[in-house]
Structure 1
Amino acid sequence: MAKKIQIILAVLALAGAISYFLIDANEKQFDETQWHIRPLTRYKMAKDIVSSNILLGKSQDEVEDLLGKAVPSNLEGRDHLVFDLGKAPSFFEAAAESLVVIFEEDKVVKVLHSRR
């Protein structure tokens, strides 16, 4: 019985370590240089861009100076820019990800991390 408990605890500890590694490996602090030279790994910086609010209050020109040229968008409604983030590795089919920057009166008011 004690042996079974040890095995179960070992499996749970291993699963926790693997989960932590996978989550940590897919998140990174925003780095402008890496953003430009490694566009397929931008998804790693998306959470930091959204949570740090580094784009809030910036003009459209300032955002494009920082992040580069936006991709064409078919979204309607608010003034916005869309930036491709690449695809995060996944055990299942990976979804394309994008960063949507929404403007009001030429200032960023919201940044969304979108998976499609």
Structure 2
Amino acid sequence: MKLRLKRKDQIGFTFFLAFVISTSLIWFFEERFNQEIWLSDTTERYKMLDDILENKFLMDKTKQEVILLLGEPDADSNSEDNFLIYRLGKPPSFFESEPQYLLVTFENEKVVKLSKAID
């Protein structure tokens, strides 16, 4: 017994298959946060930004806990500042790309916001 799909079903199946493959490839090549790489190769940090922002594992951590995970912040900030800034490097681009930064914002000594900033 041969299975024959109608033309519309074939097109729908093709789009579904393309979606599954592209989603899998994006997930496979996305860089997960790795503390060792974060601390040793500051130019490659931009690859881990999506994982940091999506998983929010820094939320509700204290400034000391964030510094233990991410190291000392790159930008000058004193103990009264309610934020830490980490350089992420420049992602590859066809045009001149701006340096990116991870901005960690604190309120009541806990992380309340994580965001990407561009110079």
TM-score normalised according to structure 2 size: 0.70
- Aligned partners of 1:26 and 1:88 also within 8 Å: no
- 1-structure distance, mates of 2:29, 2:102: 16
Find the counterpart in structure 2 of residue 106 from structure 1.
109
TM-score normalised according to structure 1 size: 0.72
**What are the residue-to-residue correspondences of 1:4-23 with 2, within 5 Å?**
none
Number of equivalent positions: 93
Establish whether residue 49 from structure 1 lines up as the match of residue 55 from structure 2: no
**What are the residue-to-residue correspondences of 1:1-116 with 2, within 5 Å?**
24=26, 27-73=30-76, 79-116=82-119
Structure 2 residue matching 1:42: 3-state secondary structure = helix
**Structure 1 position 73, deviation (Å):** 4.7
Unaligned runs of 5+ residues in structure 2 are: 1-21
Structure 1 residue matching 2:54: 3-state secondary structure = helix
Q: 1:18-61 CA deviation, whole Å, 9 max, x = no partner?
A: xx7xx959841101111011111000001110110010000000
**Structure 1 position 111, deviation (Å):** 0.3
- 1-structure distance, mates of 2:110, 2:73: 16
- The higher radius of gyration belongs to 2
Structure 2 residue matching 1:69: 3-state secondary structure = coil
- Aligned partners of 1:26 and 1:43 also within 8 Å: no
Structure 2 residue matching 1:29: 3-state secondary structure = coil
Same amino acid, percent of matched pairs = 36
Q: Which amino acid aligns with 2:70?
A: L
- 2-structure distance, mates of 1:97, 1:26: 20
Structure 2 residue matching 1:81: 3-state secondary structure = strand
